[in-house]
Amino acid sequence: MRKKACWLVLVALLGVATASQNPGAVFLMIWPAARPTGLGGAFTAIADDASSVYYNQGGMAFLDKTHATLMHCNWLPGLYQGMYYEYAGLTHQLKGYGNVGANIIYLTTGETDVVNERGDFLGRYTTFDVAVAGAYGYPVLSNLGVGMAAKFIYSFLVPEWVWKVMPELGIEAGGTGITWAVDAGALYKPISFLNVGLSLSNIGPNISYTSSGESDPLPRMLRLGVAYYPVQNNVVSVGITPEITKILVGMFYDTTGTKSFGRKLQEEMRDAWKSVGVEAKFINLLHTRIGYFEDLTGQRGGIVMEKEGQTYHYGLGDVLSRKSLGKFKSVGLCFGAGLEFARFKFDLSLDQLIYDFPTSNYKFSFSYQF
């Protein structure tokens, strides 16, 4: 079953393979929208468009009128040629009552051929995952917005007819998972050139794919980010946004039972995703972005070094504090650019440099403000 193997690779790529439990519905961890991707996923402290329904519902509180975003991405074709990823988000201002919003996320790994041990072709099916969310954001203070979202999650990995035509697998039912979750976020703007964002995502019941009742936790995530704007005028605007993301599944898991709390806390901090994004806007027309990303557990991004024929991923702290790490190979950078005309925006990003295998990974987003 090639699709099962592909899904296990996705779990590993998203940096959660060493936890005490592997999460299900890992598609919820993929960055939607081109603009945040160009910033290395650091968007919690910005959240100023329709993708705020995903990244930080507190940011919705500061939006005016109606915002819409559509995104398409042929996601990691170097891993599996048929995969693509779609996102659509919408927010609408209720004057005096905050903002409502909704989004839909869809991921498919394409078609899978069902072939038995004798090599007989038995059929074909398409795997997909979808999440639909509704959200609300409200400005509790003039500089503090809070919000929440509720989502329905449906994951279709294997249809029932596969088990019937392949009894040698020893599986009678399963392959589809359904659950729900809630998100919450806050965006604080203490001064005109500084934002602080916090969000908690995918809090809900486990998702189960088997008739036995065995289940996997959702990819619960905690994000904390800051956005600093050292330059803001009618010609040029520059923003710098560092962010840390922690996957809450399997935290402080110790297979040996011998690690101190301090040691486990140190490992958890190293396990966290770390991003820094820089965005520049010129005369409200051209946007350029660059992001740095490191996920050392998932072996994505960071500073990649080669030593004795082996490739290793290190964080910025490792490179600054340790010696003889090897020969420099690459760095986990993301890039993005955008054009803005009146109320229309087009954004493009790529993040293929954070992966070790050859691939292309372009995201295209179209946004409009009504």
- Tens of pLDDT along 204-254? 999 988 665 678 899 999 999 999 999 999 899 999 999 999 999 877 776
Paired with 203 in beta bridges are 182
Higher pLDDT: 353 or 215? It is 353
Is residue 312 predicted with pLDDT exceeding 70?
yes
pLDDT given at position 124: 86
Evaluate if residue 365 carries a pLDDT over 80. yes
pLDDT of residue 129: 95
Start-end of H helices in the chain: 2-13, 34-38, 52-55, 160-165, 261-271, 316-321
- Decide: 132 and 140 in contact? Cβ < 8 Å: no
What's the whole-number average pLDDT of the chain?
89
CATH superfamily, domain 2-298+332-369, is monomeric porin ompg (2.40.160.40)
- Is 192's pLDDT higher than 80? yes
pLDDT score for 17: 45
Query: What is the predicted pLDDT for the residue at 104?
Result: 98
In whole angstroms, give the CA distance from residue 126 to residue 159: 9
Question: Residue 50: what pLDDT?
Answer: 96
Q: What is the pLDDT of residue 1?
A: 47
For residue 369, the model assigns a pLDDT of: 93
Question: What is the dihedral sign for C-alpha 125, 179, 205, 71?
Answer: positive
Residues 91, 55, 243, 334, CA torsion sign: negative
Does residue 166 sit in helix, strand or coil? Answer: coil
Segment 294-299 shows an average pLDDT of 91
Determine the average pLDDT of the residues in 148-162: 91
> What is the per-residue pLDDT for 13?
53
4: pLDDT strictly greater than 50: no
Q: Which residue has the higher pLDDT, 8 or 280?
A: 280
pLDDT of residue 359: 87
In this predicted structure, the answer to whether residue 18 has a pLDDT above a threshold of 50 is: no
Q: What is the pLDDT of residue 20?
A: 45
Confidence band, pLDDT 50/70/90 cuts, at residue 337: very high
- List Cβ neighbours of 79 (8 Å cut-off, separation of 6 or more): 6, 9, 10, 13, 357, 359
Label residue 266 by pLDDT band (50, 70, 90).
Answer: confident
Burial readout 319-350 (b: 16 or more C-beta within 10 A, e: otherwise): eeeeeeeeeeebbbbbbbbbebeeeebebbbb
Within 10 A of 282 (CB to CB), how many other CB atoms are there?
13
pLDDT of 332 over the 90 cut: yes
At 8 the pLDDT is 47
**What's the whole-number mean pLDDT along residues 124-133?**
93
Two tokens, residue 90: 């919408």
Q: Residues 328-357: what's their mean pLDDT?
A: 94
Judged against a pLDDT cut of 70, whether residue 14 lies above it is answered with no
Is residue 5's pLDDT more than 60?
no
d(CA 241, CA 34): 16
